[in-house]
Amino acid sequence: MTVQITQVILNGVLLGGLYAAMAAGFSLVWGVLNIINIMQGSAVVLGSYAAYFAWRYTGLNPLLAIAVAGPLLFGVGWVLQRFLIQRVVAAPVLITLVFTFGLDLVLNNAMISFFSADYRKIEGVFPTAPLTFGALTLPVDRLLAAVVGIGAAFALHLYLHKSRLGRAIVAVRMDRQTAELMGVRVELIYAMTFGLGLAMAGIAGCLLAAIFPTSPLNSAHYLHIAFVACVLGGLGSVLGAVAGGLLLGIVESLGSLFVGAEYGTTVAAVILLLMLFTRPQGLMGRAGYE
């Protein structure tokens, strides 16, 4: 039984690395622009498609396709924010939520129109035999994807704290008005942040494409994951998103073992609700992100 549980926890950690990548950008956008980006799931799927087509036409390894998907999604995010989202960024929660919901409908359906809802799978890129340690097995593709995912999140974190632009973003997150007074061009920062958020989503999409089949139908599921991981870990904090993602992966896997595989979303949602009731700022975030 301990072997089983250890295997399950291990599975959860690997999943958690992916979840971390999915949540990091989402958390950043929520923290800085105070917008819940309902498009997150679809943005991840768009990244997956970028990886899929790059692989199909050039044989590029999806883990390397992040160099393609990242900038692509950054551009999309920048444009969306600058020309559309900026108009509603100061509006009440209801408006911004419904607005990004509408944008998501457009993006998701556009993907279905262009790419069809059929599942696309990348295959043959990674060795199929898993690594084994005694009775424990570790699939190679998941291991690599998790490592890259967590690495990307860390890279984002470093960028936010070491670079000028990054620190300006953090400043806006902490206190928008003061940052403005200090000469930070908030609109630019917003566009930058949203771009970064979608870029991370695109990267996460590449990682997912390496392991799972791609289809626009997955986007709601990915959005849920981003939500829960974010709230668990704490809004606005990229490291929090990593912690939240890992925790979510583990809890989900254990939940699947003990409660049943068909209750995955319920387990995640119940955790989310518990967290919101008891410690809304999450493990590592700061309070006040309503």
Partner 1 sequence: MNSRVLLAIAIAVIGAAACAGLPLILAGEPYLMRLVTMFSLLLVLAASWNIVGGFTGYPSFATGAFFGLGAYAAAILQARGLDWRLALIVAGIAGAVLAAPVGYGVLRLRGHYFAVASLMLGAILRELTTGWSDLTGGGMGLTVAGAGGDPERLAAFSLRISLALAVLTVLLGAAIKWSRLGFGLDCIRMNETAAAGIGVDAQKLKTYAFTLSSVTSAIAGGVYAGWIGYIDPTDVYDVMWSVKPIVAVLLGGVGTILGPIIGAALFVALEEIVWRNVLSFSSGGLGVLIVLLLLVLPAGVLPSLVSRKRRP
Partner 2 sequence: MQRRELLVGMAATLVAPAIVRAQGAEELRIGAPLPLTGPLAPEGQKQKRGYDLWVKEVEKSGGFQIGDRRVPVRIIFSDYQSATPRAVQACDQLVTQQRVHALFSPFGSGAAKASSAIAERYRVPMIAPTASSREVYDQGFKYLFGTFTPNETLTEPLGDMVLAKAPTIKRVAIFSRNDLLPLALSAEMKKSAAKRNLELVFDEKFAIGSLDFASALTQMRGANPEWVFVGGYVNDLVQVRTQMRDLGLKPQVLTMIAGPAYEEFTQALHAAAENISSAAWWHPAVRYEGVDIFGRTESFVQKFQAMYSAVPDYIEASAAAAGAILQLAARKAGSLEGPALRDALASLDVMTFYGPISFGPTGQVERLLPPVFQIQGGKPVVLAPSSIAQGELRLGIA
Quick one: what does residue 91 bind among partner 2, partner 1, none, with the CB cut-off 5 to 8 Å set by partner type?
A: partner 1
Among 36, 169, 171, 225, binds partner 1 (CB under 8 A): 36
Least distance from C-beta 134 to partner 2, angstroms?
A: 12
Question: What x/- string results for residues 219 through 238 when contact with partner 1 is judged by CB under 8 A?
Answer: -x---x--x---x-------
Quick one: what does residue 254 bind among partner 1, partner 2, none, with the CB cut-off 5 to 8 Å set by partner type?
A: partner 2
State phi, psi for 30 to the nearest 5 degrees.
-60, -45
Residues of span 124-183 touching partner 1 by CB under 8 A:
none
Under the rule (CB under 8 A), what is the footprint of partner 2? Answer: 4, 7-8, 11, 15, 109, 112, 116-119, 121, 123-124, 128, 130, 137, 139, 212-213, 215, 217-218, 220-221, 252-254, 256-257, 260-265
Nearest to partner 1 of 127, 260 (CB atom): 260
Contact 202, 48 (CB under 8 A): no
According to the binding rule CB under 8 A, does residue 254 interact with partner 1? Answer: no
Among 5, 90, 110, 140, binds partner 1 (CB under 8 A): 110
Which of 46, 104, 87 has the alpha carbon at shortest distance from 70? 46
Nearest to partner 2 of 174, 259 (CB atom): 259
State how far the Cα of 235 lies from the Cα of 288, in Å rounded to an integer.
9
Quick one: what does residue 188 bind among partner 2, partner 1, none, with the CB cut-off 5 to 8 Å set by partner type?
A: none
Contact 70, 16 (CB under 8 A): no
Task: Return the range that interacts with partner 1 (CB under 8 A); candidates 28-36, 71-79, 139-147, 206-214.
Answer: 28-36
Contact 37, 23 (CB under 8 A): no
